[in-house]
Structure formats: structure tokens, C-alpha cells
Structure 1
């Protein structure tokens, strides 16, 4: 009986399906709102559907996802306005179904032979993203309900939540909907939107920070279907010394003696109206639009900074080719036709991003999306006010100086992130030449004035630097034929080098073990050692003047501790610059042909031994009580958080309940600088450079100096009552760091043996010293670990409060 009922249902559904197929396209859409455009669409508001009429089969176009609304968590990263990557897709008909297929653009053939191109397509898998029943076909057009595509997680939201350890989330279709009223259509793009509700555990820390109900996360997902750019765009070969961003693929049509790897410089299309003219107007300028939700004075600062690039395009020969405007009212910033600068709010301060969306076939940028975190400027003001003690009596001028500094930083930030969307990478060497480039990460140019007070005037540069002019010319300049272009670009790079412009990118700067002395984030000055001394003098003065006068009147007393963090750790990034000198080496980016022509130097040149030892002396001194003890007057003013407030991530760790914990602050600083010295990659390089040249410092010398500055120092300063306690706290962090380094297994065997020997000697030395609980316990810990690591539970290094982005 049950089987007969099932058979009956199958027959009913089959008849309904046949009836639908029998209906014409016109009949199925006569009650719907037509939206003609790139892919004709119909709004079905009654049923909450969007139907598409697909007429162009097997013809590629671009698919882009984005988020009109975000999660609000910097840690998870699902921000308002966030774009995905552009995918090359096409529709194809298979029986009664329409498939949406993503083409594999990572592997291709550029040959004119169709069979050769087809052989590569057939060798690598494509991806079917969606399948839908064809409701009706008429005159070559096929009607499908595209709602199921829109109601699926096309942006990777669930993956991002999983990867950030917030749990397993999935789309709940019952609590999701197609936003029919948001669908829009234009000749070159179709814009669609949906409301997605994700069901999940809701117990992740980051989720609890931002969500009203962590088990039910509702975001909007936007889908752009974009017509391919018109022919005529000329891809430009990427060069590793250009400072550009590349997009690459494997081309199996390259001659056998050449590499399969092909890389293009991503860039906007920019065409002169008079191609032969040195300076010419353009057919279509590059225009960026600022979020209308940006308040003043931020709005004016962002517009000013983003507009800096206009001068570089002018110098490159393009008149009125670039401009920045306020987004017109009623324009959807997700619309693929608009380059946008968005002011993005999150629960905590965090990074800003510039995302260029490029055609994967050619590298042509079709949309630039800038996302600027709104809380960064507040941190800049906080740092400035804390360095200046801006709320002392008569401090109005200092308060204005703090605001001016923060707005100057916003201008630079706006230019920086727009630069990424123009096709430019970071250049962390530019700080060697002052305001060398907006594409560096700038530290405020802190100094002391003639009276010995902290001075933040001119803390950030104004306008582009010489590197920025170079990268615009290299990416966008027009030089004639392919051969003429290649020669002209080579001359541009040679001229940049002759002017002293240097380039070090992300891959040689971000890692704690990076070795290039110029590849440093948030540093400044041509000489890292001199700048360290300058920053240390400013830090000392700021700590001496640090008091309740750094705090605005309406803030709770406990916030004074949060303001102490960036002042106490003011030297953290210049310390990283010193660390890059240890075992450091200079090298250049380029091609083999560049080296043969003498345009670049092959190999890596070690930093001079004397410079390395100066850096080592300063880094080990940073671990001594003289540089880590806080002034007594400062300690006396630190209050526990007021009722209704609590410590957050911007505070030092605490093991003293609500009272400020100066030892945890000390240990955080010690963990930072100790980790720089005891980095496995750095020690491995030091050992190798010493093996090649005995005059250079080796790993053993670094460890010896570290121990002499901490455990083996004769005594802490007697004029500082807390100095011994501070030094003991630092010493323990160093032991934990060295044992953790051994436990990590990343040292070469010889370096591992050298460290173990130094630790054995330290344990023996500690045992022979006058009775001291810490020395005795440290000796026992070291000996126990070296004898049997499994019997010892190692302590994690203390947490260092977030610094970047400053």
C-alpha cells in the first residue's frame, strides 16, 4: 500500500513537471517584474524568487560574491563590503538542466591551435557550482529559478567561521530568503542578493563578542554576474622588482625551454585619447567613490589621501585620469561598476584592506574595494594623547596635535589601501627614505623637541613618495610596442635603483625570522640603530610624564592601564628592525637576465659584523630591569577598572586580580624581545654565517650575551627597589623561551646541540650561586627537561598585547 502511495506521488510530481515544461517562458513570467540587462531577470516578489533567462550558453563571464552586511569581528574577518575573488564561469545546458560551471583558469594554453587549447582544458578539472531545472525554453533562452544558488553559501562564510575556530555553521534555508527587491540589472552586470542565516554552536569567543544570538548568524550575500571586459586590454608582464601585484597561471604553450609560469601585473584599463602624446586625456578615468556613511573630519581626510594618486598618474602621462568622489546617493556599493572606499565598523580595532578584483585571464582590474577599519583612528589618537600627556592643564594644543596626527595617518592609510586596489604591493623598505612611499607601514615619526618634550608634529608624511611615482609609471605608463615597453620598463627600474629606491615585499618582512634589514613593518629612519636610540629616548620621556593627564576627563580610571600599553611597548617595532640585522643579509629581486646585465646583484650580502653586534647589545639591554621597570610615580596612579568596566585584549595580562600587574607587563615585553633573539630561523642563519666567516657573530654568541644580560648579570640596579623582582621575572621568561625553542624542533642539529650545552652550563652555574629560590628552581627545571623532556610541562610564553595595526 505504501509503495502504491509513493508511486502515485511520483506520477503527480511528474505531471506537474511536465506541465511546467509545457508552459511557455512568456506564460511563466507574465505576472513577474521584468529586469532586462546583462542576464535578463524576473522578480517574483510573491514567492521570493529571482528567475533568470539565459540565452548565451558556453560563453564565459565573471562571478563575484560580496557581503553588504558583515559580522563585525576583526578576528573572523567577515566584514561589511568584503569581496570574494572573481571567478570565470559559464552556463551550459545538459538535458533539462542548466549548469553553472567555473572554468579552471590556473592552467591554460595560449596557442592558436584549438586542439592544443582543448587538451589543457580537458586535463584539469572544472567545477560545477550549481544546477537548475529549465522551466521553459524559447528562442534560445532558457528560464531557470536561480534562487537555490543565491540561498547557498557562495562567499565561504561557513569556512571562515570554521577556520577561525568558531565552530561548524551551515545555512538554514528556512530562515534565509532571496532579497528580491535588491536585484538590479544593467547592460554589463546583473546584481542579486540574499539574506542568509547560519545555524551553529554559538560558543566561539569571537562570535560571543559580536552576535546577539550566536547560534543564529544572519548576513547578506551579494552576487554579481559581470560581462567580460571588452577586448583591447594589453596584459603587462609582471616583474619581481616592480612593486606590483601579480596574477599567474601555467601556460602549456610556452616553448620547451621557457617556464610554464606566466605572471601578469594587475592594473586598471587606462587608454589615452591621443596614444602618441606624452600627456593625454583618457577615454575612461579611474574613479573611486567614498562611503557616504563616513563622518567628518574622517570623510575629508580619506578623500584627501585617496586623491594623492592623481599626481602620479599625471606624471605618468595621463591627464585627469584618476579622481575620488563621494558615492552618489542611491548607488549600491556592491555594484560591480563602482570602485569603492568603505568605512567599516567592527567590535575591536583591526586591519584595513585594499582588494583589487581582477579578470583572471588578463589581470585587468574590474573593481577596487577598500575597507577601512573605523577604530584604527581612535587608537592613533589614544597613542598620541598618551605620548603627549595631552590632558594636563592647558593641554588644548596637544589635544589638537593628537587629532592632527591621527587625521594625517588616515590620509596615508586611505592612499595606502587604494594603492593596493590600483595593483601595488607593500614596500617595507621605503621607510629608509623618510616618506618614501605610502605603500609602507609607517611608524609615527616620534622625536623630542629642544626642551626635551615629545613632539608629534609632522609624525606622518603628506602626499606620495618617489617610490609611488615609480610604481604608477611602471604599471600604467605607455611605451609603444612590446619590445619598446620591455626596454622602457628596464630603464625605469634602473633609474629607481640609481635614485636609491629600494623594494622589500611581504614575503621577506612579515615573518619573525625575516632577514632583510630593510624589510621591517612600522619602523622609520635610514639607520635602525640610531632610530632605536631615538625611540628609546622618547619612550623614557613619555613614561616619566605618564600620568592621569593622558586620560580624557570622561574616561574611567582603569583605562589608564590600556593607555600605558603602547607607550611601554613603543620600541617593539624598532626592536624588530634590530632583529633583522642579526643574521641579516641584503638582496635584490630580479631575473637572471637582470643579474647578467648588471642591473641587480645576485646573492645575499650579510650585514656587517659590527652592526650586528650593536643590534645585539641593544636587544639584550632591552631585557634588563633598567629598561623595563616603571617609574614609581606612574605605578602609584594606576587604578583597577572602575565598576561596570573590565580589562580587554588591549591590556597587559594580569595575575593580580583587579590590581595592575607590573610583572606581567614586564614579562610581555620580555617575551617579545626574547622571541626576536631566540627565533629558530635567525639562530640557524647566525650559526651558518659564523661557519662561513668566524668574524661574524654566531648563535652561541647571541645566547651567551642573552644570558649575561639576564640570569648572569652581577646585580640589578640598587636605586630601583623593584628592579630585582623585575629582572627575575624576565629571567624566567628567557628560560621558558629557550626550552620552548628546543621543544619546537626547528633548530638545526648543531644549533640545537649548542643551545643544550649553554643550558647545561647555565644550570651548573646557577647551582653554584648563593642560595636563591629562582636560581635553584631554574637549574632543576633545565636539568629535568634536558634529562627527560616528557617529564616537564613547559610554560607558554606570556601574551603580548596587540600592537599592529598602529
Structure 2
């Protein structure tokens, strides 16, 4: 009988709405946990033999309270026993540990604390071993290489349990699990990295206990309370949001931290779901394993998409293949946390249900739905691994995230607990006000109507649900919308301003007041890409083998893009960081024009801020916050345009498609981008200098808001990374196509120092910029550190990221020539400059350039 050896490690897909959040490690270390203080439950098998099992009735007495499920659970006074059927031995079980209740400053109930894949097996001397599955290699047992794979891979034995008794019918074993779940055992406790962030140390066994154990047909749920010793000043430290960074008050006040946990032991399917071979042209989270076979001349990395198991009901498979809409055997259901304020529940549900039209493209009706949690049903638990839930957190974090828990062998999503932070409403409020208040009167206040806020919650809900369906961010989607279509009322209201809800393309900031565009043309929505991506992930793809499926999938992707370019997927998160099409918060195929329209709207909004932010008794906090948001939006526009300078596009293609994967952004457009920066930013944008507003919240001795925006963009523009990249592109693509570093510096310098010829006074902002320009060029020819000083992106295809030594680059020579030229112009202009401040500035600049060219 042919057997396939498959051993895999757990991978947790977690994506954020406002930002990507860290999760538990994607590959558990599989180490043997610290089992001190477990009442004799040390690792067995090599030591003294265990006591012989007792008769069943002597262990599971008449006092026992027994419940049948995945494991039959027996509670005998203060002890808990698992009765494990022999048929479950060797079966893979997913252990998902979540926080239920946590102390202040330590995260939120519902978040994942740990994930492991486990198996139980018979050990020697009447024991049951618990192994942690960590291997990622496969081989067909009919191949000779199968022996090499099995010889090179073994899963750690994390725990050994003496068999207390055999089942009444001798088809299973009874083990005492009390001390195991009460103790601090890694497979079913807090992940080691998380404990380090908390500064948690020894478990206090006298203050740790099992609250209850419930068991169901495919899962067993263990709720525990664990108390750890903790050092004052502990916490998540510098861990990124949404992990809090403050110390834990409990640790400071008592030297201990008590946490309530729930561990779900979820039986993985005996027959894993069929793989959907991944393709980087469709944005799904993926998992993988390494496959070995005798016929190979190199090993294969099998990468597959993470998705729910959606199959037609019995008898409907042929209808589904014919294109008829059918219902799935098991629909995808998300429940709304009963802690959610009632007025927002319907909008969260609408955001979930919006995906139904996408699943219809894949051939399924009633495939996905949101429901309110049945609060009167005491048989259901929010921590139960069988249920997917939108968990509502009372938090000031402006965020939401959409993770999933999946079968590491196949990518089958088993459940999801979306994290929804209460203060995400502030995030969407500020975005919507700054991006649309010029065209939507509803956005002109500090508190939106429930209807408007509900609409914004709905779109965030759809985005996060998309992640839990397996979809990654599609940051490039918005680049497939022509900029002028964003002002075309009929078109944008029919199609949306971006082709994907999975993009970070919040609201249509290009629309102008005279366009009269309604909310349908302002909000994000599930678009053409999303419909296509769900069809690809959940629809039928023919192929008897992975290779056949891969070929059929590739043809489908090519045909889909030819029929509708809005099905394109692009991202900077795992792709080329220099591709300007894949940016967050941007819109359209033309960043210059889109940003020009966006600036016009900001110029309309700024004078109205005192009126629109007014709330009685407000201590200028509203106007400070919203002006900061407005300036942040302006800075985004500068960043969107800057990304095109030295930009390299990356369009994944199979060998069956024409054209190059890597192309340089057209030279003319790069020069247009530099002209935009010169005009909109480096020529002092006086409209942003709102001193009447600044005087309400900005102390003059603090950082100047506008100067900081100018400085950061100039630093990005003159980065050695960009200048090197431009020179590399010059060599590859030629001077007619590639905009090179010398041309960039000439264009920036001629405008930035235009006062040298115009003889106009140099204002304070221009003086600061000119000084900064010289300082940045000086740092390139006189670097503070020796050796390689820059990292550039090399061609993908095996070469990866390569360090480049500036001493071996043309950039320092180009920069030196620019400074020599600039010095001569400064020297010539200084004597004829009549403005006193401008004259002494130029004299100072001349000396700075001289020092840079001839450092002593």
C-alpha cells in the first residue's frame, strides 16, 4: 500500500488593516518545554518503567463526570482525564491557545497566544507520547529517497503520559492531563517569545488551575488560569502595534501576572484538502513544503494557497462544473462578538456579506455570511475553535487585523478570529475627513453620523474578511484606474476608485467638488480583482496533477488579465520595493496628476479647519490632530510621486507571455515627477504655512511642520539607494530610456538654487533646503562609515539583495562634480546679492561646499 510521508509546520497568516502586525512565530521551534514542577510528569521512556495501568473503574470511578467528544473527558474530583481512542493516535491535531482575559497593558482577550501541531502516539512502558510536529519535508514512500527523508526528520517528544487505564472496550487509553494543562507546557501555553515580551518567568502552581474542559466532536477546549512571576517594567517593549508597549501594572504592583487562556485541540482532517498550487500573480497567503523524489534533479518547493475548503453539496458537483450556482457543504460563517456596540453590528455583517457576490463568481451561493452571536446559547463559546468571530477589543489602538488558522498540510483555513479595535473609528474618521471633506459635507465634523461611520466600518470589515479568506494586500490595484476616471461620475460610481478592497486606497481624494460624485464613487468596495481572486482560489481549476493544475491556472490568469487588466496583482510586501505602482494610500495610474488634484482639495479644506473641528471646550486638540492629518496627507502625495524617480516596475509573467518582467519607469515621467516636487514642495508651499492655526497648538521652538516635510522628501530623493539604482538602470536600459543620477541632480539643483540667477531673496525654507542639499551630497563623498554603505535591489531570480560599496560606484564622482559646479555658481552670485540674509547664507554655503570637497 502506497503511503505519503507528510510532515509540516504551522504557519499563521496575519495581516493588518492599518498596518501589518506581528504574529506568533511561523515555524514553532519544537523544543522540549520546561516541565519542572509537574508533579513527576517528566519526559519518560528512558528512565524507570511506569506503573502498570489500573482497571478502568478504579481510575474512572462512579464519581466521574464524563463527556464524549474528540477526547472523552472524565473529571474525577479535582483531576481531569483524557480517554484517547487508538484511532486518534498519529492523527495531527492543531493546538490553538488564545488569551481569554489579560491584565491591563497585555493585549486583548481573543488574540492568539500560541499555535502548534501535535500528535499522540503509543510509547514504550505503557506511555502515551505527545509530539510537536515541526518538519517540512515530504516524499512518496515508494521512492528510495523516502528513507533519507524519514531518517533526517523526527518530531520532538514534548511530553510523556503514563497510561492510567485502558478503555472499557480496550480501544483507547486513559491519561491524567491535570498537571499538564495546569503547568507551563509550551505546546498548550503562551508562546516563548510572548513570555519574553511580558517578562514572565516561573509559573506559580498554587495560583494556576484548570477552569473547565469541554469536548465536542472534532475539538476539545481547555480553559485555564495561569499566574506567572513577572518583573516590574516588563511588557512588550518595542514590539510593534497592536502589542502595547507599556509596562504591565500587575507586574509592578504585585510581581505576578495572571492570565486566562483557552486552548483548542482541533482535529485536522484525515484527508487533507487538495492543494491549490500558488501563483505569485494572484495574491494569496501561502504555505509550503519541500518534496523529494527519485526522479528529481533538484528538489521541489511545493507552495500552495491558503483558503477555506468550499465544496458543492452532495449531488451538486456536476452542476457546479457546468457553471450553475450551488450551495457549499459547509458555508463560511463569521459571528459578531456580543461585546460589539449594537449600532455597529449590522455594518460588520454587511462587510462580511459583501463577499457573497465574489463567491458567486466561483460558483457558490450562500457561501459566506455574518451572524450575531447567539448570546442565549450556553453551548457555544467565543474561544471554541469551530467558530470564526469578529472579536471587539476595548482599545485605543487605531487598527484592525484579519488572521486565519489553517491546516499546515494543505492550506485549509479552519477558523478565524478577526481583531477589531474600538478606536479604528478614529482612523477612518480622520482619513475620510481629510480625503473627502472638500466634496462630501458629511465629512465636515469631528463626529460623523452613525450612517456614515457605519459605512466606513463596513469597508474595513470587508477588507479584514478578505484577509481571512486568504487574500493578501493588493497595493498595485489602484494603479489600474486611469486618473481622469476618478473624476468621471458615471464611471467611478459604477466601478469604484480601485479594483480591490485589499488595496490601501482609502477614499477618492482625486474627486473635485464640481464632479458631484456620490459616496459610491468615494468609498472602497469589492472590485474586479477581488471577484477574480476568489474565482481563482475557490472556483474549479482542471488538472489531475499539481503540474496540470499549474498550467491550467496560468492560462486562466493570462486570459483574465487580457480580458480585464484590473485583475492585476502587485505588492511591495514581498515583491519589488522600487515599483511605484504598488504603493499604499495612493490612487490611479498617474501619481503626479492625482496628487495635484489631492492638493487642490487640501487647499480647500485647510481654511475651514477651525470651523469643521470646533467642539465646545476643546483645548485645541481637534485642530492640532486634523492639521497633522492634513499635512500627513500632503506628505503622502510627495512620497507617491518620489517613488517614480528611479522606479523599476515588476510584472510577473510566465514564459508564455510576451514582454519583460522588469522595466524602468519612462524617463519623461520621472522628469515630470521631479518638476512636481520642485513646484509643489521645494518652492515654498506658502499655503501650508497656516500661522493662525499653528499658533493654536505648535510651539515655535518645536519642529517646523513644513520644513520637516521638505527635509524628509529631499532626503529620500537624494538617497544613495536611489542614485545607485538610477545609474544601474542607465547601464541596463540606456540613456534614452533611463533617467540617470546626474540628470536628477541637475534638475533638482537648477530649481533649488534658482535665486542664484533670479537674484530674488532666499526665504527661510529655501535656505534650509539648500543647506540640507549640500549636507546630503557632502555625506555621500565623505561617508562616516567605511566599507559597503548602501544596499540596492538586484534582479530577482536567485541573486537577491547585494551590498554595493560607494567607493566602487559612479555616484560619488557625480556628486563631487555637482558640488564643484554649484560652488562656482554660489561664488559668482554672492557679491551681487543685495538681501543681507541671502548674502551671508551664500557665503556660509560656499564654505560648506569647500569643506566637503576638501575635508581636513
Alignment partner, residue 250 of structure 2: 213
Q: Provide the C-alpha distance between the structure 2 equivalents of 1:501 and 1:383, rounded to a whole number of angstroms.
A: 25
1:556 aligns with 2:585: no
Alignment partner, residue 804 of structure 1: none
Contact 1:81 1:371 in 2 (8 A): yes
- Structure 2 residue runs of 5 or longer lacking an equivalent are 1-38, 41-47, 239-243, 482-496, 792-803, 831-836
Q: Structure 1 residues 775, 395: closer, same or farther in 2, change over 3 A?
A: same
1:475 aligns with 2:537: yes
Contact 1:346 1:374 in 2 (8 A): yes
What is the TM-score with the length of structure 1 in the denominator? 0.80
User: Aligned Cα RMSD in Å?
Assistant: 4.1
**Matching of residues 504-653 of structure 1 within 5 Å:** 504-506=569-571, 508=572, 514-547=577-610, 549-553=612-616, 555-590=618-653, 594-595=654-655, 597-598=656-657, 601-624=659-682, 626-627=684-685, 630-632=688-690, 634-635=692-693, 638-639=696-697
**Matching of residues 52-451 of structure 1 within 5 Å:** 52-56=82-86, 58-69=89-100, 80-82=110-112, 84-85=114-115, 87-95=117-125, 97-109=127-139, 111-113=140-142, 116-137=145-166, 139=170, 140-149=172-181, 151-152=183-184, 153-154=186-187, 157-160=191-194, 162=196, 168-174=199-205, 177-181=208-212, 183-198=213-228, 199-202=230-233, 209=246, 211-215=248-252, 216-231=256-271, 233-253=273-293, 255-257=295-297, 259-273=299-313, 274-277=316-319, 278-279=323-324, 280-329=326-375, 330=378, 331-350=380-399, 352-385=400-433, 406-431=453-478, 432-433=480-481, 434-447=497-510, 449-450=512-513
Q: Provide the C-alpha distance between the structure 2 equivalents of 1:370 and 1:50, rounded to a whole number of angstroms.
A: 32
Match of 1:461 among 523, 529, 541: 523
Contact 1:428 1:520 in 2 (8 A): yes
Q: Provide the C-alpha distance between the structure 1 equivalents of 2:776 and 2:159, rounded to a whole number of angstroms.
A: 51
What is the TM-score with the length of structure 2 in the denominator? 0.76
Q: Provide the C-alpha distance between the structure 1 equivalents of 2:152 and 2:744, rounded to a whole number of angstroms.
A: 53
State the SS of the aligned residue for 1:108.
Answer: strand
Q: Structure 1 residues 612, 288: closer, same or farther in 2, change over 3 A?
A: same
Q: Provide the C-alpha distance between the structure 1 equivalents of 2:755 and 2:76, rounded to a whole number of angstroms.
A: 79
Contact 2:724 2:741 in 1 (8 A): yes
Q: Structure 1 residues 58, 373: closer, same or farther in 2, change over 3 A?
A: same
State the SS of the aligned residue for 2:318.
Answer: coil
Q: Provide the C-alpha distance between the structure 2 equivalents of 1:337 and 1:256, rounded to a whole number of angstroms.
A: 40
- How far the C-alpha of 1:666 sits from its partner, in A, is 2.6
Q: Provide the C-alpha distance between the structure 2 equivalents of 1:150 and 1:613, rounded to a whole number of angstroms.
A: 66
Contact 1:66 1:223 in 2 (8 A): yes
- How far the C-alpha of 1:492 sits from its partner, in A, is 2.7
State the SS of the aligned residue for 1:518.
Answer: coil
Contact 1:438 1:465 in 2 (8 A): yes
Q: Provide the C-alpha distance between the structure 2 equivalents of 1:73 and 1:440, rounded to a whole number of angstroms.
A: 33
Q: Provide the C-alpha distance between the structure 1 equivalents of 2:849 and 2:180, rounded to a whole number of angstroms.
A: 61
- Structure 1 residue runs of 5 or longer lacking an equivalent are 1-8, 11-16, 641-658, 792-806
- How far the C-alpha of 1:24 sits from its partner, in A, is 4.5
- How far the C-alpha of 1:514 sits from its partner, in A, is 1.9
Q: Provide the C-alpha distance between the structure 2 equivalents of 1:292 and 1:439, rounded to a whole number of angstroms.
A: 27
State the SS of the aligned residue for 2:589.
Answer: coil
Match of 2:766 among 723, 727, 744: 727
The number of residue pairs the alignment matches comes to: 736
Alignment partner, residue 487 of structure 2: none
Q: Provide the C-alpha distance between the structure 2 equivalents of 1:150 and 1:738, rounded to a whole number of angstroms.
A: 62
Q: Provide the C-alpha distance between the structure 1 equivalents of 2:311 and 2:340, rounded to a whole number of angstroms.
A: 32
Q: Structure 1 residues 389, 461: closer, same or farther in 2, change over 3 A?
A: closer
- How far the C-alpha of 1:760 sits from its partner, in A, is 4.9
Q: Provide the C-alpha distance between the structure 1 equivalents of 2:113 and 2:522, rounded to a whole number of angstroms.
A: 30
Q: Structure 1 residues 396, 472: closer, same or farther in 2, change over 3 A?
A: closer
Alignment partner, residue 746 of structure 1: 790
